[in-house]
């Protein structure tokens, strides 16, 4: 049960005393160093940790994306972990520009096993951690502050000894004061300074100091303050690559990472799509693509993001959420009418080479290997903009505005009845049915030009058509074929038709090109409605459109609007 007074159980985080903080004004202008910990922190969070084959698949995907530093495991944790590191080294699977990293607790037998796993490696980052937070000191490790410093420094010395015994490897040491986010800043500095005192890094041979929000406890601005404080106060800062390792317990891992880089961090540790314990590690894809959309090259390649997602889902055996930033199935999709309207208008106005500024789409989906197909999907929240966008992008129909309005009412009627999404194909089927595109046969016609009164020319049109199921022969005159057809139709059927507006365009190209005609008609001096005709011949398309409109008028009188049958609605 939730408490009426949560303060009786939970303590508020404390702000950092840093009145001259500089990070809020900083801008990120280059990518940080990235470290993927998918194969370690991500892996240790899985229901079933990856086997060797899955680990290799993930490793190769990470290399392909462009990671230069990859934490490949916790070799002392299990034989699978150990064997995977051995496989990478023995089978020479690590590219020249990639460095592997491994993690160990500050315990002697685990450190020894870790160095053993790295025998023969050309380069390696060995990552040492021990918890520093008061609750961990007091309850879990049973040590005071001095004890923690002694533990960290003795294990740091052991790193040096073991590394010296494997001189063929180019070593980089990394230290994490675990639970940095829940530790007093002064104590974090004390432990880190003590470790770097042992390692004596130089600007030429730096060590990595990694500050984890092992559990995210505070708003990201507090984390940024903590990083800026460490950045300013750590000893030997110029000999340190300052790394952060955010988790996402409060849902602000991305913000914490970005603020931390603004506050002085050089390096970010995280996982693809934010896999990792509890609510996950920092989502590296999210941060990298946030940089990209600010015009900063992220140095990681996500141009085939769906392929990467498939590998990650296979290796982790966990799905990526449909709303996950940049990659989810639905993140480039607008269902709502006003969004669709804006996207459609801006897409048409946009010119190649323009800075990307498309409402509701922070990134061009094509940059990540997506198409525009899913950008607009139609359901009961949609309007004419989305419907006509799909008909145009998928079927080449450029509906005039008033026809968009007319047809969207037809779609809305179906939506109200069915309540389901309609795909572009469903819309096309409904459009074909509503405008009788299959019912109206092309009127067989013959045109002859005749000189009219004065300078004018007239045409005479003879046509055979099927109207309301009956064969009809018509003969009419007018200033053009449409005029003559309308005249003949009126004489033969007694139905009056006035053409109020006319639009046509081509669909397709070359031998397969067709003309589509949209005619707005006033039928029998009653309602105004559209008829649509598609034909290889432009005159036939227009004549078909007139018959289409007239038949719709008749159907409207019978009060029988087109309905989506079960097969169409799917
Ligand atoms: C925040 C993080 O992600 S840290 C990384 C955590 N990752 C993992 O733990 C995954 C891999 N770990 C493992 O497979 C196992 O924990 C192993 C194989 C490494 C060790 O297993 P075990 O020896 O059975 O120890 P176990 O993990 O149960 O217990 C930890 C012991 O080490 C101590 N310990 C924990 N962390 C540290 C540390 N960094 N330095 C020193 N001692 C530590 C604990 O106090 C405990 O001591 P105790 O046995 O005296 O009570
Ligand atoms: C080992 C450390 C870096 C860790 O994973 C964490 O604190 O979250
Ligand atoms: Mg972690």
Of 434, 454, 489, which residue sits at a domain end?
A: 434
Domain boundary among 434, 457, 472: 434
Is 339 annotated as a binding-site member?
no
Domain that holds residue 417: 337-434
CATH number, domain at 44? 3.20.20.70
Q: Clarify whether residues 149 and 234 are in a common domain.
A: yes
Is 247 marked as a binding-site residue? yes
In a domain, residue 5? The reply is: no
Q: Where are the beta strands (DSSP E) in 302-416?
A: none
Give the C-alpha distances (Å, rounded to integers) separating 366 from 287, 326, 424: 19, 11, 19
Q: Is residue 1 part of a domain?
A: no
Ligand 1 atom closest to Cα of residue 106: 40
Judge if the beta carbon of residue 248 lies within 6 A of ligand 2. no
Q: State which residues have CB under 5 angstroms from ligand 3, the bound ion.
A: 41
C-alpha of residue 175 to centroid of ligand 3, in Å: 13
Q: Which of 375, 406, 434 is the last residue of a domain?
A: 434
State whether 115 and 239 are in the same domain.
yes
To the question of whether residue 41 is assigned a binding role by annotation, the answer is yes
Same domain, 266 and 390: no
545: domain CATH number is 3.30.160.270
**Which tokens is 442 given?**
């092309």
CATH value at residue 424: 1.10.1220.20
Ligand 2 pocket check for 245: Cβ under 6 Å:
yes
Nearest ligand to the C-alpha atom of residue 191: 1
DSSP-assigned beta bridge partners for residue 444: 464
- Both 305 and 344 in one domain: the answer is no
Which atom of ligand 2 is nearest to 178's Cα?
7
- The Cβ-side half-sphere exposure at 410, using a 13 Å CA radius, reads 27
Would the CB of 117 count as within 6 Å of ligand 2? no
Q: Is the CB of 43 under 6 A from ligand 2?
A: no
- 191 is written with which tokens? 């432990």
Same domain, 92 and 139: yes
* Residue 462 bridge partners (DSSP): 446, 475
Task: Kindly state whether residue 9 falls inside one of the protein's structural domains.
Answer: no
- Ligand 1 site, residue 129, Cβ cutoff 6 A: yes
* pLDDT tens profile 149-165: 999 999 999 999 999 99
pLDDT attached to residue 556: 63
Q: Is residue 482 part of a domain?
A: yes
Shortest-distance ligand to the CA of residue 213: 2
Measured from the Cα of 141, ligand 1's closest atom is 45
Strands 99-105 and 69-73: parallel
Query: Which pLDDT does position 458 carry in this prediction?
Result: 86
CB 187 within 8 A of CB 226: no
Residues in the chain where the model's pLDDT stays below 50: 559-570
What domain count does the chain have?
Answer: 3
Do residues 424 and 449 share a domain?
A: no
- The DSSP result for 110-157, as a single string, is HHHHHHHHTTT-SEEEEEEEEE-SHHIIIIII---HHHHHHHHHHHHH
Q: Does residue 150 have its Cβ closer than 6 Å to ligand 1?
A: no
Structure confidence at residue 453 (pLDDT): 66
Q: What is the atom index within ligand 2 of the atom nearest the CA of 129?
A: 1
Nearest ligand to the C-alpha atom of residue 179: 2
Q: Same structural domain for residues 522 and 373? A: no
* Residue 327 falls inside a structural domain: no
Whole-angstrom distance, CA of residue 226 vs CA of residue 211: 10
Residues 113, 212, single domain; the answer is yes
Q: Which residue(s) pair with 177 in the sheet?
A: 130
Q: What distances in angstroms separate CA 425 from CA 23, 339, 373, 393, one per listed residue?
A: 51, 21, 12, 11
Asked if 464 and 444 count as a contact pair (C-beta separation under 8 A), the reply is yes
- Does the interface ipTM go beyond 0.85? yes
* Residue 27, domain member (yes or no): no
Pocket mutation for ligand 1, best pick of 105, 113, 210, 248 (most atoms within 8 Å of C-beta): 105
Name which of 437, 422, 400, 431 is nearest 520 in CA terms: 400
210 lines ligand 2 (CB under 6 A): yes
pLDDT digits (tens, 9 = 90+) for 5-21: 999 999 999 999 999 99
**Closest Cα to atom 7, ligand 2: which residue?**
214
pLDDT in tens, 503-562: 999 998 888 899 999 999 999 878 899 999 999 999 999 999 999 999 898 876 654 444
Are 420 and 379 spatial neighbours (Cβ–Cβ below 8 Å)? yes
Q: pTM of this prediction?
A: 0.85
User: Strand pairing of 457-467 and 444-451?
Assistant: antiparallel
Q: Are residues 191 and 53 in the same domain?
A: yes
Q: Would 21 be classed as within a structural domain?
A: no
- Tell whether 523 and 420 lie within a shared domain: no
If asked whether residues 417 and 466 sit together in one domain, one would say no
Q: Specify the pLDDT at position 328.
A: 95
- Residue 409 three-state SS: helix
24 occurs within a structural domain:
no
Asked if 531 and 504 sit in the same domain, the reply is: yes
The alpha carbon of 511 and the centre of ligand 1 are apart by a number of angstroms equal to 72
Q: Is residue 324 annotated as involved in ligand binding?
A: no
Contacts 24+ apart (CB under 8 A), 488-492: 488/461, 488/462, 488/463, 489/546, 489/550
């Amino acid at each position: 049960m939730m408490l009426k007074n949560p303060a009786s159980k939970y303590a508020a985080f404390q702000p950092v005393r840093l009145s001259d903080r500089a990070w809020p004004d900083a801008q990120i202008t280059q990518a940080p160093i990235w470290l993927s910990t998918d194969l370690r922190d991500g892996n240790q969070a899985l229901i079933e940790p990856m086997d060797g084959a899955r680990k290799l698949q993930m490793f190769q995907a990470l290399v392909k994306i462009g990671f230069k530093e990859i934490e490949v495991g916790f070799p002392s944790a299990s034989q699978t972990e150990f064997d995977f590191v051995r496989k990478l080294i023995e089978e020479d699977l690590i590219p020249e520009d990639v460095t592997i990293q491994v993690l160990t607790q500050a315990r002697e037998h685990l450190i020894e096993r870790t160095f053993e796993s790295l025998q023969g490696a050309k380069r390696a980052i060995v990552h040492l951690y021990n918890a520093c937070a008061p609750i961990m000191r007091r309850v879990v490790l049973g040590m005071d502050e001095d004890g923690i410093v002694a533990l960290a420094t003795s294990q740091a010395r052991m790193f040096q000894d073991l590394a010296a015994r494997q001189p063929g490897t180019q070593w980089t040491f990394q230290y994490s004061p675990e639970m940095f986010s829940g530790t007093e800043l002064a104590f974090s500095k004390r432990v880190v300074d003590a470790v770097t005192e042992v390692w004596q890094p130089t600007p030429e041979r730096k060590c990595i100091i990694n500050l984890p929000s092992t559990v995210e406890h505070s708003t990201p601005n507090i984390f940024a303050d903590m990083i800026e404080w460490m950045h300013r106060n750590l000893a030997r800062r110029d000999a340190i690559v300052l790394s952060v390792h955010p988790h996402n317990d409060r849902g602000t891992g991305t913000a914490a990472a970005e603020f931390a880089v603004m506050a002085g961090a050089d390096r970010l540790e995280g996982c693809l799509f934010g896999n990792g314990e509890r609510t996950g590690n920092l989502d590296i894809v999210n941060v990298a693509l946030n940089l990209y959309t600010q015009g900063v090259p992220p140095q990681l390649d996500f141009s085939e993001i769906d392929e990467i997602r498939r590998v990650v889902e296979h290796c982790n055996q966990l799905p990526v959420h449909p709303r996950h930033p940049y990659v989810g199935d639905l993140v480039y999709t607008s269902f709502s009418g006003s969004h669709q309207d804006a996207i459609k208008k801006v897409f048409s106005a946009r010119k190649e080479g323009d800075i990307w500024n498309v409402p509701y789409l922070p990134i061009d989906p094509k940059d990540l290997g997506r198409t525009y197909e899913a950008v607009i999907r139609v359901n009961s929240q949609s309007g004419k903009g989305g419907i006509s966008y799909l008909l145009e992008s998928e079927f080449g129909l450029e509906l005039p505005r008033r026809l968009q309005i007319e047809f969207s009412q037809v779609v809305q009627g179906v939506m109200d009845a069915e309540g389901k999404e309609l795909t572009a194909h469903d819309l096309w089927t409904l459009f074909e049915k509503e405008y009788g595109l299959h019912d109206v046969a092309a009127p067989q016609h013959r045109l002859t030009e005749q000189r009219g009164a004065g300078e004018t020319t007239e045409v005479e049109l003879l046509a055979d058509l099927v109207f309301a199921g009956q064969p009809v022969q018509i003969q009419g005159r007018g200033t053009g074929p449409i005029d003559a057809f309308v005249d003949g139709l009126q004489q033969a059927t007694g139905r009056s038709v006035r053409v109020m507006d006319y639009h046509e365009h081509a669909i397709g190209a070359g031998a397969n090109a067709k003309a589509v005609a949209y005619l707005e008609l006033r039928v029998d001096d009653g309602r105004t409605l559209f008829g649509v005709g598609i034909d290889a011949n432009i005159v036939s398309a227009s004549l078909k459109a007139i018959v289409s409109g007239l038949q719709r008028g008749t159907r409207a009188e019978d009060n029988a609007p087109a309905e989506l049958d079960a097969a169409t609605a799917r």
